Structures are given as structure tokens and as C-alpha cells.
Copies of this chain bind each other. A is one copy, B any other.
């Protein structure tokens, strides 16, 4: 895994795990890699992984069984999706609409870009 500098590594790890759960790469109520394993796998200090895991635990997405390890929560996927949707509507959308307003971009323009974007995605998939 590659990290960028725009946000802290521990945040990028939480987002990465969010994705794993949405993709069902990590299924619910199963044990996830130990802090040390994850740290080795991501080539990161264990403390950084602990920080990410703890945040996810606070969010109710992970649970901890003493001396055994971390587990995905029962309704982890629902929780993640709900959380991300809220964020999207409360943070991303208002920014989007504000930008559209100041730049004079309409919904039709967005649609055009969207079709283009989907086309690109398809092309990439065909390539690979």
C-alpha cells in the first residue's frame, strides 16, 4: 500500500479498511489481522495501526476481544455505508454546489463529465 502526504497515515488506513469492509473483502464478525501483522504488511509502525484500529473501534466498526484480537462488528458494513453517506451529503455536496454556483457550472455539465468519467473507467477495465 502507498500513502500520500495529504492526510495522516492512520487516517488513510481507516479509509482503506472502510473500503475493505464495503467491498466485503473483510466480512462481518471475523477476526482481522493483528496489529503487528498489519503493521508489517503496510510497512508502518504498529502504533500507527493501533491508532487506526482504535478509531474504527470508537466508530463501532471494529470490536476488540482481550488478548485475542480485533474483529469486524456485526453490522460493520451498514455502519460504514451510513457514515460515508452522511459525510458525503454534509461535506462533499455543499462544496460541490458552492463551486458550481461560483463557476457557473450546471447539472448538465456535470452529467457530461460523468458520462466521460464512466467511459474512461470502462476503457481501463477493458485494458486490464
Binding site for B on A (CB under 8 A): 5, 8-9, 19, 22, 45, 64, 66-67, 81, 84-85, 88-89, 92-97, 99, 102-103, 105, 107, 110-111, 113-114, 117
A-B contact pairs, 5 of them (CB 8 A): A5-B66, A9-B66, A19-B102, A92-B96, A107-B111
On whether A5 and B84 interact (CB within 8 A), knowing A94-B117, A96-B96, A97-B114, the answer reads no
Counting every copy of the chain, the complex holds 4
Measured CB to CB, the nearest residue on chain B to A91 is: B6
Would you call B97 and A85 a contact (CB within 8 A)? no
Partner of A99 from B64, B84, B114 at Cβ < 8 Å? B84
**Max count, chain B CB within 10 A of own CB: residue among A45, A64, A85, A88:** A88
